[in-house]
Structure 1
Amino acid sequence: MKNFINNKWFLLLVIALTWGSSFMLIKKSLVVFTPYEIGAIRVVGSGLLLGFIGIPALFKMTKKTIIWVTIAGFFGNFLPMYLFPIAQTQVSSSLAGILDSLVPIFVLVFGFLIFGITSKKTQILGAIIGFLGAASIIYFSEANTEDSNFWYVMLVVLAGASYGVNAVVIKERIPNVNAIKLTAAVYSIWAIPSLIILYFTGFIQNFEMKPEFTEPISYLAFLTVFGTAIAMLLYFKLIQDTSAVFASTASYLLPIVAVIWGVLDGEKFTFWYVFGGLLILIGIYLIREKKKDPKLVPRG
C-alpha cells in the first residue's frame, strides 16, 4: 500500500476520481442543505477529523509558516468549499466539473503573477487556448440561457482560480511541511470561521433529523471525509512530491468523471461542452510539466 501512496500516477487517479465525483455529491446534498451549510460542514467536519494532528502541528510551526499555511488554506480549503455549492444552485455538476479543469492554467498564470515563474511560449499559448475553451462553454452553454446565471458560472471559474493560488503557494512557500500535518493544520485553522458560519445558518440550533435527510446526509458525509479531508491530503502530498502543475493535471480526468456522473443523472450535455472541454484539455497539455522546472525570476 505504501508503494501506491508514493506513486504519483496512483495519487493523481484517486484525486481525479474523488474530486470528479464531488460535484454530483454537492448536487445531491443541495436537496436539503444550503450552500453555506455544505461548505461549513465540509470544513468543520474535516477540522474535527484532523484537529488532533493539526493543532499540535501548528504549535511547532514558525509564525511565517503559519501565515503561509493560513493563506494556502483560505484559497484551497475554505473559499472554494462555499463557491462550488453556491454556483451549483444554478449550474449543472457537469459544467462545474468541466470548468474546474482550468486549475492548471490558473497555476501557470498565478505562478508568474505572484512568484515570477516564467513560462515557455507554448505554455502561454496553452493558457490562451484553455481560456478560449472556457469562454466558449460559458457563452454558448446554459450560462447564457434564462435557466441559469452567468455570474454563478463565474463563481466556478473563481473557485478554480482560488485552487490555482493555493497550489503555487504550497509549492513555492511551504513545500517542506509534511502533507498530513499541512492538511490537518489548514482545516484546524479554517474550521473556526466555518463553525461561526454554520452557527449563523441556523443549522446547529434548528437541525432536526427527518427521513428525507438520510440520503443527502450520507452524500455530504462521504464528500466531507473522502472528497475534502482525504483527497486534499493526497493532493498536498502530490504537489510536494512533484509540482503544482503536475498535481493540477488531475484536471485531465476530473471533467470526464464529472460529465459521466452528470449524464447518468440526466443532465444536459451539449456540443459546446465537448468543444470547450477539448480546448481546455489541449491548453492543459501545452502547459504540462516539462523535465526542467520553470526558472524563478525575482519580481522587481
Structure 2
Amino acid sequence: MIKLFKNRWFLVTILALTWGSSFILIKKTLVAFSPYEIGAIRVAVSGIILAFLGVPAIRKMPLKTLFWVAVAGFFGNFSPMFLFPIAQQKVSSSLAGILDSLVPIFVLIFGFFFFGIRSKLSQVLGAIIGFIGAASLIFFSEANTEGSQFWYAMLIVLAGGSYAMNALVIKEKIPGLTSIDLTAAVFTFWAVPSLVILYFTGIFENFEMTPERSEALGYLSFLTIFGTAIAMLLYYKLIQNTTPVFASSVSYLLPVVAVIWGVLDGEKFSFWYILGGLLILIGIYLIREKKVNPKLVQR
C-alpha cells in the first residue's frame, strides 16, 4: 500500500477523484452554509486537526522559509477555499470543474513570467488553445446568461491561477520541506485568519442544527477532511516528487469526474461544455512535459 502512494499516477488518480467530487459537495453544502462559512470551516478545521504537527514545524522554520510557506498557503490553501463556494452560488459544479482544469496553463504562464522557466512553442500554443476553450465556455454557456454570472465564472479562473502559483512557489522556493510538514504548517498558519472570518459570519451565535443543515454538515465534513487536508497532503507530495506541470495534470481527469457528478445531479450539459472542455484538454496535452526540466527537479 505504501508503494502505491509513491506512484505518481496513483496519486493523480486519487486527487482527480477527490477534487473532482469537491464541486458537487460544495454545491450541496451551499444549501445550508454561506460561502464564507464553508471556506473558513475547511481551513480552520484542517488547521486545528494538523496543529500538533504544524506548530512544531513552524517553530523550527527560518523566517524566510516561513514567509514562503505563508505565501504558498495563501494561494493554495486559503483563497481558493473561498473563491469556489462564492462562484458556485451562480456557476454549476460541472462548469466549475471544467474551468478549474486551466491550472496547468497558468503554471506555464506564471512559471515563465515569475520564475524564468522557459516554454516551448508548442506549450505556448497549448496555453492559447486552452484559454480559447475557457473563453468559449464562459461566453457561450449559462455563465453568460446574466451579466453577473460572468464574474462568478471568472472567480473559478482566478482560483485556478491561485493553485498554479501555489505549485510554483512550493517547487521553486520551499523544496526542502516534507509534504507532511508543509501541509500541517500552511493549514495551521491560515487557521487563525479563518477562525476570525468564521467569527464574523455569526455562525457561533446563530447556529441551529436543522435536518437541512445536518445533511450539509455531513458533506462539509467529508469535503474538509478528504477534499482539503488529505488531498493537499497528497498534492504537495506529488509536486515535490515530480514537477508543478505534472502535478497539475490532475486536470485531465478532474473535469470528467465533476461533469459526471453534475449530470447525475440533474445539471444542464451543453455542446459548449464538450467544445470548451476539449479545447482546454488539448491545450493541457500540448503543454505537458515530455522530458523533466532539470531546473524543476533540483533539490
> The TM-score by the shorter chain falls in which range?
over 0.9
Give structure 2 stretches of 5+ with no counterpart. none
Q: State the Cα deviation string for residues 87-134 of structure 1 (Å, max 9, x = none).
A: 000000000000000000000111111101000000011000000000
Asked whether the 8 Å contact 1:80–1:163 carries over to 2, the reply is yes
TM-fit CA distance, 1:148: 6.0
Superposed displacement of residue 152, structure 1: 0.3
The superposition leaves residues 36-62 of structure 1 with CA deviations (integer Å, 9 ceiling, x where unpaired) of 000000000100111110110001111
Provide the C-alpha distance between the structure 1 equivalents of 2:55 and 2:148, rounded to a whole number of angstroms.
42
Correspondence list, 1:94-173, <5 A:
94-146=94-146, 149-173=149-173
C-alpha separation in 2, matches of 1:205 and 1:290: 54
Specify the alignment match of 1:220 in structure 2: 220
> Given that residues 239 and 247 in structure 1 are in contact (C-alpha distance below 8 angstroms), is that contact kept between their aligned partners in structure 2?
yes
Find the counterpart in structure 2 of residue 234 from structure 1: 234
| Cα drift, residue 8 of structure 1 | 0.5
Distance 1:36 1:294 in 2: 41
Distance 2:204 2:180 in 1: 29
RMSD (Å) for aligned C-alpha atoms? 1.1
- How far apart in 2 are the matches of 1:294 and 1:124? 20
1:193 aligned partner, one-letter code: P
Distance 1:24 1:184 in 2: 26
What are the superposed Cα offsets for residues 244-286 of structure 1, whole Å, 9 maximum, x if unpaired? 0000000000000000000000000000000000000000000
Moved more, 122-131 or 285-294: 285-294
Q: Which runs of 4+ in 1 moved over 4 A?
A: none
**Conserved 8 A contact 1:142-1:148:** no
Give unmatched runs, 5+ long, in structure 1. Answer: none
Q: Which amino acid aligns with 2:116?
A: G
Distance 2:157 2:92 in 1: 14
What is the match of residue 9 of structure 2? 9
Aligned mates of 2:210, 2:136 — CA distance in 1:
42
Report how far residue 290 of structure 1 moved. Answer: 2.4
Contact 1:119 1:294 in 2 (8 A): no
Take 1:68 and 1:26, find their aligned partners in 2: how far apart are those partners? 29
Instruction: Establish whether residue 67 from structure 1 lines up as the match of residue 70 from structure 2.
Output: no
Aligned residue-pair number:
296
Identity %: 71
